[in-house]
Amino acid sequence: MADLGILLKQLDYRFKDSSLLDEALSHRSSGSHNYERLEFLGDSFLNFVIAAELYNSRPDEDEGALSRLRASLVRQSTLAEIARELNLGDFMNLGIGELRSGGFRRDSILSDVVESIIGAVFMDSGHEAARALILRLYKDRVVNLPPSAELKDPKTRLQELLQGRSLSRPEYEVVDASGKSHDMSFTVACTLPELTLKVRATATSRRKAEQAAAARMLEDLQQQLNT
């Protein structure tokens, strides 16, 4: 494990109770003293702080838009980005199995640890210190968010575009699924019968493949509508 002093410097925080940081960095594979309870607390407080920041900084956005903006900031991939900026994988305490399988690189674990650290700071010094940490970790992410409409997923944007032109909904079909149970690959076709448009996309889950196909269809459809 790397020198925790480096991590503390990046967090710009010193723990009164260092055992909280140890707990926050410990995956359940390492034993019963792990981050799961702190992650639960940190997740809840993170959502509240980000919601409050968006409420104050985006006064013209409605509830749906604020929810999309918040989701983009607290989703697993964003938290994993923050974890990688902090090199959290170097500081985590993992069981031998998770260590060998590369758990220190996995988005799901990295994102949990960011939330558990937030929970640990909350328990160590209260809500103001935890809020300050969140704002440091997110830096310009709240300010630089794109318009909420751009954060809608491709399937939603495609459907809204079609509805605006009185066209039928797209049809999605899994045309291929292959691989072992822990490493599946799905190919989905997205079809617009009225416009005789059809595209395919492949991803590691049906949902991701549908979204990828919708994104590809959006590109094709916008090109067609602009010609």
The pLDDT score that the predictor gives to residue 33 is 87
Would you call 183 a catalytic residue per the annotation?
A: no
Does the pLDDT at position 150 exceed 70?
no
From 104-108, 178-182, 207-211, 222-226, the region with the lowest mean pLDDT: 222-226
Per the confidence metrics, is the pTM higher than 0.75? Answer: no
Count of residues making up the chain: 227
The pLDDT score that the predictor gives to residue 181 is 78
Query: Bridge partners of 171?
Result: 191
Does the pLDDT at position 173 exceed 60?
yes
C-alpha dihedral over 189, 153, 111, 74, to 10 degrees? -170
What's the token pair of residue 129? 């210190």
| pLDDT tens-digit series, residues 28-83 | 887 888 999 999 999 999 999 999 999 999 898 889 889 989 998 999 999 999 99
- What does the pLDDT average to over 120-134? 97
Distance in angstroms (rounded) separating the CA atoms of residues 31 and 94:
9
What percent of the chain is modeled with pLDDT above 90? 59
pLDDT classification of 99: cutoffs 50, 70, 90: low
Cα–Cα distance list, 192 to 9, 69, 127, 189 (Å) = 53, 29, 50, 10
From 1-5, 27-31, 34-38, 197-201, the region with the lowest mean pLDDT: 1-5
Binding region for Mg(2+): 39, 112, 115
What percent of the chain is modeled with pLDDT above 70? 93
The one-letter code for the residue type at 59 is P
The pLDDT score that the predictor gives to residue 24 is 96
- What does the pLDDT average to over 176-194? 90
Q: Which of 23, 53, 98, 115 is an active site residue?
A: 115
* Domains in the chain with CATH codes: 4-146 (1.10.1520.10), 154-225 (3.30.160.20)
The pLDDT score that the predictor gives to residue 103 is 62
Would you call 12 a catalytic residue per the annotation?
A: no
**Axis crossing angle, helix 63-74 with helix 76-85, rounded to the nearest 10:** 40
Binding region: 39, 112, 115
Q: Which of 43, 53, 98, 210 is an active site residue?
A: 43
From 94-103, 131-140, 151-160, 189-198, the region with the lowest mean pLDDT: 94-103
* b/e 18-44 (16+ beta carbons within 10 angstroms → b): eebbebbbbbebbeeebbeebbebbbe
